[in-house]
Structure 1
Amino acid sequence: MSPSTSNSALFDAVLFDLDGVVIDTTELHYRVWEEFSRDRGYAPTREELLATNGRRAGETLRAWFGTELSDEEVEALTNDRERAFHRLLAHEPVVAVPGVEAYLRSLRQAGVPWALGTSALAENAELALERVGLEDLFPVRVTSRDVTWGKPHPEVYLKAASALGVAPEACVVFEDAVAGLRAARAAGAACVAVATSFPRHVLAREKPDWLVKDFRDLPAALRPGGQGLMAPTGPHP
């Protein structure tokens, strides 16, 4: 998909979601949600499972089990759910999204900064990166413990951009979920939809600047040294 703006626009930094963008754990999340909910008398539809992408666990819990849940009940349920996911993540086969490691190394070689912006718990983000051998390639991370609001609120990407010392408008965000694309837009960043979790036609409705299969499918504007992505050289034009 062509961007709504010219490919000559410069991006000073790259922001990454985690699940479905860096590591392919989407089906693990669905499995945990299905088992967790079934044990508590709720059977989510496939559409409801899709809607969990990019959403904080507490928001899903209140949507499925009642808005009257207290903060303490939500916290306890969230902890149970995240422990179940942590156990699966530690033992089930997981892989990185194709091409992401090579892309990260190309950013580092070109001097383009990047950061992680995820709704995941910090410990699960750490384990996920370790499982695919990318923990050393994400020194800058913003996780659920660093934000008050979940996606589609832009807070996670605003903080990730701030951690890099770059204006959010000078960033391009890689996202696989509708809520995440909306968060990127709300932050003022350009966005790339990665079609690993949602059907392409669903992502296309969000009007991302680009829509790609994975990191092997990137246009020149998103590659270091291309017209669109360059190391910071001062204030963004």
Structure 2
Amino acid sequence: MTHNPAIIWDVDGTLVDTAEQHFRAWAKFAAEIGHPFTRADFAATFGMRNPEIIRKLFFPDAADPRCQELGARKEDLYRASVREEGTQLLPGVGRLLSEFAAAGYSQAVGSSAPPGNLELLLGLTDTRRYFAAVVSGDDVRRGKPDPEVFLTAAAKLGADPLRCVVFEDAVAGVEAAKAGAMGCVAVTFVGHHSAEKLRAAGADLVVASLEEVTVAQIAALVGGAGTVN
């Protein structure tokens, strides 16, 4: 196992922000099946895997194949929107990816998103080269706040979870990181969750933008220094 810190990135809200494309895709999907879909519904389910969202909001008893079919339709709508509008890295992300790579830190993606979405987003932002592993929602059975996605990413990197630092923007993601015994940096830039809620979930460092984060801070997080101020 590597001694250097290993970095695991959430994608939506952390690397990029395509929340509006997700909202519009869910709204179109809901209209197609004759169900309402509100901003409150979106906020209550943001970061969940599609089967969980579909059962929570639309069809509580839907079997896995039905969830897969419905989720695929929603993701088709989402990817079409992203291809049309494009996306870009959030502030500070490009620098951190480069600096972590230069420092010899292995990096992975740990996301609830389907693999097709991740392939599209990493391609549009030209960041796939930074990641030794990409773990999607299809690679795990349990979504965040269960730590499975991050533990799977750590295993693929050959990294001790205690030396991993997760970058997240959502309460469920922070909870997943801490359940996996990992360090966690939470960013409030896209505004889905308040700094207070992210701290309460266990984030070791909460920032308004990843422009504030340094490699030295991340090294300190896994060096036994505890919470970083």
Q: TM-score range by the shorter chain?
A: 0.7 to 0.9
Structure 2-normalised TM-score? Answer: 0.88
> What corresponds to 1:110 in structure 2?
103
Structure 1 residue 183: Cα displacement: 1.0
| Structure 2 contact 106–131 (Cα < 8 Å) conserved | no
Q: Does 1:211 align with 2:201?
A: no
Q: What amino acid maps onto 2:207 in structure 1? A: V
> What corresponds to 2:59 in structure 1?
66
Instruction: Pick the aligned partner of 2:152 from 140, 159, 178.
Output: 159
| Residues 206 and 227 of structure 1, relative CA distance in 2, 3 Å threshold | closer
> What corresponds to 1:3 in structure 2?
none
- Could you tell me the percent identity over the aligned residues? 35
Structure 1 residue 100: Cα displacement: 0.6
| Structure 2 contact 100–215 (Cα < 8 Å) conserved | no
Task: Supply the distance in 1 between the matched residues of 2:137 and 2:170 (Cα, whole angstroms).
Answer: 16
Give unpaired runs (5+ residues) of structure 2.
Answer: 224-229
RMSD across aligned C-alpha pairs, in angstroms? 2.0
Q: Does 1:186 align with 2:179?
A: yes
Task: Supply the distance in 1 between the matched residues of 2:85 and 2:36 (Cα, whole angstroms).
Answer: 23
- Aligned residue-pair number: 219
Instruction: Pick the aligned partner of 1:41 from 34, 55, 58.
Output: 34
Q: What amino acid maps onto 1:118 in structure 2? A: S
Task: Supply the distance in 2 between the matched residues of 1:107 and 1:229 (Cα, whole angstroms).
Answer: 14
| Structure 2 contact 8–108 (Cα < 8 Å) conserved | yes
- 1:1-237 equivalence runs, <5 A: 12-195=5-188, 196-200=190-194, 201-218=196-213, 221-223=216-218, 227-228=220-221
Structure 1-normalised TM-score? Answer: 0.85
Task: Supply the distance in 2 between the matched residues of 1:42 and 1:204 (Cα, whole angstroms).
Answer: 35
Task: Supply the distance in 2 between the matched residues of 1:73 and 1:171 (Cα, whole angstroms).
Answer: 36
Give unpaired runs (5+ residues) of structure 1.
Answer: 1-9, 231-237
Higher helix share: 2
> Which segment is superposed worse, 199-208 or 167-176?
199-208
| Residues 28 and 177 of structure 1, relative CA distance in 2, 3 Å threshold | same
Q: What amino acid maps onto 2:198 in structure 1? A: L
| Structure 1 contact 15–116 (Cα < 8 Å) conserved | yes
| Residues 40 and 109 of structure 1, relative CA distance in 2, 3 Å threshold | same
| Structure 2 contact 87–124 (Cα < 8 Å) conserved | yes
Structure 1 residue 43: Cα displacement: 2.4
Greater RCO (CA < 8 Å, at least 6 residues apart): 1
| Structure 1 contact 11–228 (Cα < 8 Å) conserved | no
Structure 1 residue 171: Cα displacement: 0.8
Runs of 4+ more than 6 Å apart = none
| Structure 1 contact 181–193 (Cα < 8 Å) conserved | yes
Deviation per residue, 1:173-202 (Å, 9 max, x gap): 011112111111111111111112413243
